[in-house]
Chains A and B, each alone.
Chain A
Amino acid sequence: MSLLEIAQWVQETSFSISIRESILAFPLLEGGHLLGISVSAGTIAISDLRMMGLIFKKESASDVFHQLIPWITVGFLMMMVTGTLLLWSEPVKCYNSIWFRLKVLFLFLAGLNVLIFHSSKIYRNMHEWEWSENPPRAAKLAGWISLISWGIVIIAGRTTAYNF
């Protein structure tokens, strides 16, 4: 079964049809998706900027992270649940959209960035540099990759709704 065939199968499920043809569910899901994005991407951006040594320098990086992680998690879950339902309602359109593919690619890149950075020595030894004015190059790089990836995810996601 190819990916397109899966998308076509999903599109014909009654659950997909009922979201697609709904009066309230679809606009509410769109709103919830935006809210989830703003909470997760916003708090992720704050941790990125702290990690790069640019903001909240009077608090340690790990302190900032620990306070933000619950917000990142809640926003991310909300974004993923609403996003999955929106995808479920229009899978063939998403499959055919170059923007949606770009978004998924950079979503993976953002996730990979977290995995790689969190398993690195730099991350484990954060207590050694978390007050530094000039964090290690790897921390700055991970911050940049995260900021840019999420920017592209959001712009490409928004663009998926348009017919060019």
Chain B
Amino acid sequence: MPYWRCVALKFMPSIVMAGAGLLLMSLPMAAHHSFAAEYDSTKKIELKGVVTKFEWTNPHAHFYIDVTDPAGKVEHWNLELASPNMMQRNGWTRHSLKEGDAVVVVASRAKDGTWTGSADTIQKSDGTKLTFMAAPPPPDVK
């Protein structure tokens, strides 16, 4: 076997692995994990609507609301939350939202412009405020 083939065979696995790694890194990963790929955090929207469904599911929970615009047209929004584990640590339960709840949602809208977004805070009509971000730091004590 010519020498170059020995070398090629010897290093081929490393070359293939490196190539696969590069390919993987360059893939556009729009994802349930990669917030920035799917949602635009600079485009905050406020939605007033009524909950139609709450899915307490892994890997990420979702809830759905119907938003009626002034003209009477109804938009069906799909809003993403965090994992049940993370939400429970921030005070949520699987009953935190239910069908019929009137809510005001602040969310980052999806970059593709569809009626989807990643929810920041949810204000219920009884004043309860829900979020899954870690609690804000306490105010400075003087």
Contacts and interface: CB of A to CB of B under 8 A. Distances in A.
Interface stretch (A19-27, A35-43, A69-77, A101-109): A19-27
Contacts of A159: 27
Contacts, number: 55
B51 to A, nearest CB: 17
Nearest to B116: A163
Given A23-B88, A54-B10, A162-B29, A134 B83 contact: no
Interface stretch (B31-39, B98-106, B127-135): B31-39
Range for the number of chain A residues in contact with chain B: 20 to 34
B30 interface: yes
B88 A163 contact: no
A89 B83 CA distance: 14
Interface in A6-61: 19-24, 26-27, 49, 52, 54
Interface stretch (B41-49, B53-61, B69-77, B117-125): B53-61
Given A20-B58, A162-B32, A27 B83 contact: yes
Nearest to B24: A155
Interface of B: 1, 9-10, 13, 16-17, 20, 24, 27-34, 38, 56-59, 83-85, 88, 94
